[in-house]
Structure formats: structure tokens, C-alpha cells
């Protein structure tokens, strides 16, 4: 029988898998394509990918810290570094979901103008992490497609077929 925890774990498993698979595809590109951007997206391919992973870090931090210190952000990092970070996030998301299962995860978001003060905030942060990742992976794939490059398959069907059989 599938539990709510199984569903959350599948969603975050897909989140990490899809980002990692996107990095796999980006590693095969000419570096000039990593600087490409199309109108209507966050930024260049690397700016968008780095933003996705940096935001993921902030969501993880917010699950345990109501007010975060201001971060510099905005730069890009090599694909190998971004890959390592998203894989570490996979372990940390699993720890957070373990805490949800135990009933001892409590998050509050306070003191930021870009988020509503929210207590409890666990649901909001989990939803935001998934939606944000999907949004920016789609933007990167749109950029690749607009450039006539191969777009990796990142949907739930491919995740289940490759990772969950």
C-alpha cells in the first residue's frame, strides 16, 4: 500500500534525479550553450541551474531556521560542483522527510518580504521546492529546444522507468 510518505519520497526522488539527469545532458554541450538564454526564462542555462540548486539549499535551511541570513548568490559554479550539491540535497531531503514521518519537523518562515510569514511552513516549503525545481528545469529545457539541441526526458514516466522498477 502506498503511503503519503511514499508519495513525498517519490516526488523528491524525482526532483533530485531530474536535476542530475539535466546536468548529465548539459555536460555534453559546448560551453557556449551553457551561457545561452531565451526570453522569458530566469537567465542563462547555468544561471538558472545554479539558482535552482541554491534555492533548494535555502528551502532545506528554512525547514530548520525561521530567518536566514542574507546570502550573496547570483553567481554560477561548475557543473561538477552543482551535481555534488544536488546529490547532497537528496540525502538532506530524505532526512527532512524522515522528520515529517516522525512528526518532529516544524518550520516557520518569518521576517522576509518575499515570503508570507507562515507557521507552520513545512507544507509550503516542500511544495515550493518541487514547483521551483520543475519550473526552472523546464526553462532550461526550453532554452535547449529553442537552440535546436537535444532535450532530456525528465518526466515522471522516465523517472519511474529508470529508477523505480
Q: Identify whether the C-beta of residue 19 lies closer than 8 Å to the C-beta of residue 129.
A: no
Per-residue tens of pLDDT for the chain, all 165 residues = 989 999 999 999 999 999 999 999 999 999 999 999 999 999 999 999 999 999 999 999 999 887 776 665 668 999 999 999 999 999 999 999 999 999 999 998 886 667 678 889 899 999 999 999 999 999 999 999 999 999 999 999 999 999 866
Positive or negative: CA dihedral 32, 36, 42, 45 = negative
What is the topology classification, in CATH, of domain 4-160? 1.20.120
- Break the chain into its structural domains and give their ranges: 4-160
Q: Which residue in this structure is represented by grid cell 507544507?
A: 123
Cell 550553450 belongs to which residue? 33
Amino acid at each position: 500500500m502506498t503511503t503519503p510518505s511514499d508519495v513525498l519520497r517519490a516526488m523528491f526522488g524525482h526532483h533530485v534525479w531530474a536535476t542530475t539527469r539535466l546536468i548529465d545532458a548539459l555536460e555534453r554541450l559546448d560551453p557556449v550553450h551553457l551561457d545561452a538564454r531565451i526570453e522569458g526564462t530566469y537567465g542563462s542555462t547555468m544561471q538558472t541551474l545554479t539558482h535552482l540548486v541554491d534555492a533548494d539549499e535555502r528551502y532545506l535551511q528554512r525547514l530548520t531556521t525561521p530567518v536566514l541570513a542574507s546570502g550573496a548568490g547570483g553567481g554560477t559554479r561548475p557543473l561538477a560542483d552543482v551535481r555534488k550539491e544536488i546529490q547532497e540535497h537528496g540525502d538532506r531531503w530524505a532526512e527532512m522527510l524522515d522528520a515529517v514521518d516522525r512528526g518532529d519537523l516544524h518550520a516557520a518562515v518569518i521576517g522576509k518580504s518575499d515570503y508570507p510569514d507562515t507557521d507552520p511552513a513545512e507544507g509550503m516549503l516542500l511544495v515550493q521546492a518541487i514547483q521551483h525545481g520543475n519550473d526552472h528545469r523546464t526553462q532550461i529545457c526550453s532554452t535547449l529546444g529553442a537552440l535546436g539541441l537535444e532535450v532530456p526526458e525528465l518526466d515522471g514516466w522516465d523517472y519511474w522507468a529508470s529508477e523505480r522498477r
